[in-house]
Structure 1
Amino acid sequence: MKKLIFKIIRLSGLPYLFRTLVQKNKVTILVYHEMTPEVAEKNFLYLIKNYNIISLQDFFKAHQSKNQQLLPKNALVITFDDGRKSNFQLLPLIKKHKIPVTIFLNSGIIGTNRHYWFRFKQEKYTNEELKKLSNKERLKRLEDLGFKQEKEFDTPWAMNKEEIMEMSKWVDMQSHTVFHPILPKCDDQEASFEITNCRSILEKEYGFNINALAYPNGDYSIRDIEIAKNAGFKFGLTTEKGFNTIHTDPFKLKRLDPNDTANMDELIVKSSGILSLFG
């Protein structure tokens, strides 16, 4: 049914109208997580044909200088969250198409055999239920089921340091906290650790220039923004639907989620931002 709905919306011509009218003078930021090279190639080829893909840092330069002339029409930024193992497989495509990409890394998971809590297989709680708990309570319940965020498992779920350093020659690496908690569910000490330490680790151990934080799950509070500012961040990215301009609050940048889709109708509809009209 969803596929049919996306096809109907695409054939209606509304995505085209959004691209030519609404997105024309905006900056669209997409967030991906995990795609096979085959799916990524389909996504990239469509985006290259219909948008002017720019780097996240180029958008930041235009935003900081408030210079609209630095941005092309239909500007689009591609980002990935988490730094998952499969992201490394996309490097040949990124090099082939010369696509500027930003990957937001969880510093406590990359380079280890630690796992993402939200991908830990258990049948007692849904992720949505766990996201509503305090950080301490979530960790306690997961620990009762055999998961600890510092636990080393048999296989890695995130890229190792060698892969990250190889990708960093072509890919901008930025911050996604240490262990990917729901920041508003953290107490002050936990939130400060997650935000501040991730930036510190990525700069000191990897040599990256970190100026952007992608809030895990897109969730943030005023407190989290203040911590990020005090830690030296200049920008914060949400998962709120919509577009950006040089006047958008730099700590509330919007992103659209194509859902790592292999369905072209879904990609066309979601990347156009037309669904932002419906919340």
Structure 2
Amino acid sequence: MKNKIRNINAKIISFLFILLGLTRRVKKKALRGDFILSIYFHSPEGVLFEFCIKWLKKHGFHFLSEEDILAIANNSIPFPQGGVILTVDDGWLSNEKNVIAIAEKHKVPVTIFIATHAIEQGNYWWPYVAKAQELRMGFPSIAELKSLPNKEREKILTKIKTQVTLERQALTLKQLKKAANSAHINIGAHTVYHPILTNCEDEEAYLEIKESKDQIESWLNIKVHSFAYPNGDYSKREIEYLKQLDFFSAYTTEPNYLTRESLKKIYQLPRFCIYEDVSKQEAICRMTGIWQQFFKGS
């Protein structure tokens, strides 16, 4: 009920933002080449994902691939007018139908950042915690676990997983291989276990990045050069590891526009998040960065 009320209020606020012309002003700036819209999803419904693509196309935007972003950053091609890049984090099972198939239908490039352990074992760690919370099993919350040193978090998760079972929630390896064969899908790395990297010890953090890259390259027979930080958390240490491991770019969860200036920090690229259950009006305001200007961190 609380989430329903929140979404109704957000829809009304977003409608007012659109009515006041705020999104129109952003669109005007983007279409003249002031910035690129950098947008990411997790596990969107197909209706929402397709709506976002259609809205962007209708309003004159064109879609950029990861290769395009690197070429723009390297000044190999001009900074675009009306550019937008779409990325998706984690590699959820629903992505096959709701992201990959729709991207192929509209011939739109999308990069999916994969957490490799979930592809192998079927699930990410936080749904186990959410289920334990639902069953009132007395374990720490997701937020509490995110604040712990990684080794402590892993110990608690091991206990939770002995008491909680889940149906598969991540793409299978077969589905991942099929997606990687699409001309419109690029696969990037998102660590092995999806930890908070800044809570990891040096060797843990390094191996989370390296082994995810190695595994994807082995599975798909491709080179992986793009990365997304789990939860958006990173430090100078993680950037240095990415450079050592031959990554060319990395994406944060910093809600901002992708400008000529921000492209100079190729391992700290910003993105606007579109959450799963938002209204179409809120999605428009989030894609254009209007929502984040007024409600930072939400």
- Shared fold (TM-score, shorter chain, > 0.5): yes
Query: Are the aligned partners of 1:106 and 1:180 in contact in 2 as well (CA < 8 Å)?
Result: yes
Are 2:163 and 1:145 equivalent residues in the alignment?
Answer: no
- Structure 1 distance, partners of 2:281, 2:47, is 16
Query: Are the aligned partners of 1:67 and 1:246 in contact in 2 as well (CA < 8 Å)?
Result: no
Secondary structure of the residue aligned to 1:109 is helix
- Structure 2 distance, partners of 1:169, 1:234, is 21
Q: Which deviates further from its counterpart, 226-235 or 116-125? A: 116-125
Question: CA shift at 1:262, angstroms?
Answer: 4.8
Letter in 2 for 1:112: Q
Aligned to 2:70: 60
- Structure 2 distance, partners of 1:20, 1:268, is 14
Aligned to 2:46: 37
Question: CA shift at 1:116, angstroms?
Answer: 0.8
What is the aligned counterpart of 2:86 among 65, 78, 81?
Answer: 78
Aligned to 2:286: 270
Are 2:272 and 1:256 equivalent residues in the alignment?
Answer: yes
Consecutive unaligned residues of structure 1, counting only runs of 5 or more, are none
Query: Are the aligned partners of 1:117 and 1:147 in contact in 2 as well (CA < 8 Å)?
Result: no
Superposed, 1:1-279 pairs within 5 Å as 1-21=9-29, 24-50=33-59, 51-64=61-74, 66-67=75-76, 69=78, 71-90=79-98, 91-113=100-122, 115-120=123-128, 121-123=131-133, 124-146=139-161, 155-170=167-182, 171-248=185-262, 249-278=265-294, 279=296
- Structure 2 distance, partners of 1:20, 1:56, is 24
Letter in 2 for 1:79: T
Question: CA shift at 1:67, angstroms?
Answer: 4.2
Query: Are the aligned partners of 1:261 and 1:267 in contact in 2 as well (CA < 8 Å)?
Result: no
Consecutive unaligned residues of structure 2, counting only runs of 5 or more, are 1-8, 134-138
Letter in 1 for 2:64: I
Q: TM-score, normalised by structure 1?
A: 0.91
Change in 2 beyond 3 A, CA 1:147/1:104? farther
Query: Are the aligned partners of 2:30 and 2:82 in contact in 1 as well (CA < 8 Å)?
Result: no
Query: Are the aligned partners of 1:29 and 1:254 in contact in 2 as well (CA < 8 Å)?
Result: yes
- Structure 2 distance, partners of 1:225, 1:232, is 11
Letter in 2 for 1:264: K
Q: How many residues align?
A: 273
- Structure 2 distance, partners of 1:147, 1:235, is 37
Query: Are the aligned partners of 1:106 and 1:176 in contact in 2 as well (CA < 8 Å)?
Result: yes
Secondary structure of the residue aligned to 1:260 is coil
- Structure 1 distance, partners of 2:168, 2:222, is 22
- Structure 2 distance, partners of 1:220, 1:160, is 28
- Structure 2 distance, partners of 1:245, 1:145, is 43
- Structure 1 distance, partners of 2:288, 2:190, is 25
Question: CA shift at 1:245, angstroms?
Answer: 2.8
Letter in 2 for 1:179: Y
- Structure 2 distance, partners of 1:146, 1:175, is 24
Larger helix percent = 2
Question: CA shift at 1:246, angstroms?
Answer: 4.0
Query: Are the aligned partners of 2:71 and 2:77 in contact in 1 as well (CA < 8 Å)?
Result: no
Letter in 2 for 1:89: K
- Structure 2 distance, partners of 1:126, 1:29, is 30
Secondary structure of the residue aligned to 1:108 is helix
Secondary structure of the residue aligned to 2:126 is helix
Letter in 2 for 1:80: V
Question: CA shift at 1:92, angstroms?
Answer: 2.8
